[in-house]
């Protein structure tokens, strides 16, 4: 789920992956969603309308098949690379993985940034688990999106109805658009 504050303008647009891609297969199975959000930002010049787009991809990895969950991450990475080059993109969700070949590649390449780790280290905080004992819920960002993030943290908003996962929060610095 995505919750946004007042800067959201108009409707969010649900995006569909290109045909004949692995991303479309995961989208059709309800495991990958992408939303284009238009945000009100400070005007950058006189003729600027003060609007900017942020792309948020939400995914749900297969809890019973780590190879399948990793394939979802790879399909997501391919979609971002081909459809959203040079755009601010957040990729988040219940990956049902702490480590995988794709996550290792993301960490090593620097192309995507693990926001919870980055902001925890920068603020001398422990990297919090998102379940009782694991960190399977994650938010990653392209460089363009990472530059907009003021802070990212794990918050325990759990209650009796949804006690398994904690909430991942990201605060954006809109003037950075």
Mean pLDDT in the chain?
A: 85
d(CA 31, CA 104): 21
d(CA 156, CA 165): 8
Q: Which two tokens stand for residue 27?
A: 């989208």
Q: Which ranges of the chain would DSSP assign to H, the alpha helix?
A: 22-28, 66-83, 101-109, 115-122, 143-146
Residue pLDDT, tens place only, 64-89: 999 999 999 999 999 999 999 999 99
Token pair 């959000």: residue = 37
What does the pLDDT read at residue 51? Answer: 82
What does the pLDDT read at residue 7? Answer: 57
What does the pLDDT read at residue 9? Answer: 56
What does the pLDDT read at residue 135? Answer: 75
Query: pLDDT at residue 117 above 80?
Result: yes
Residue ranges with strand state E in the chain: 13-15, 32-40, 51-60, 89-94, 112-114, 137-142, 149-155, 167-172
Nearest 5°: the CA angle 24, 86, 84 is: 15
The residue among 9 and 135 whose pLDDT is bigger is 135
């Amino acid at each position: 789920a995505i919750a946004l504050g007042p800067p959201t303008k108009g409707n969010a647009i649900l995006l569909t992956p290109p045909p004949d891609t692995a991303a479309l297969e995961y989208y059709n199975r309800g495991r990958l969603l992408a939303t284009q959000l238009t945000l009100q930002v400070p005007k950058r010049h006189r003729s600027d309308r003060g609007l900017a787009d942020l792309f948020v991809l939400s995914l749900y990895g297969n809890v019973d098949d780590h190879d399948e969950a990793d394939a979802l991450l790879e399909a997501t990475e391919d979609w971002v690379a081909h459809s959203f080059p040079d755009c601010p993109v957040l990729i988040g969700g219940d990956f049902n993985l702490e480590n995988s070949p794709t996550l290792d590649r993301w960490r090593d390449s620097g192309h995507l940034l693990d926001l919870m780790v980055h902001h925890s280290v920068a603020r001398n905080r422990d990297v919090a688990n998102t379940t009782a004992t694991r960190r399977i819920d994650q938010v990653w960002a392209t460089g363009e999106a990472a530059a907009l993030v003021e802070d990212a943290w794990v918050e325990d908003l759990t209650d009796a109805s949804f006690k398994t996962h904690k909430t991942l929060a990201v605060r954006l610095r809109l003037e950075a658009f």
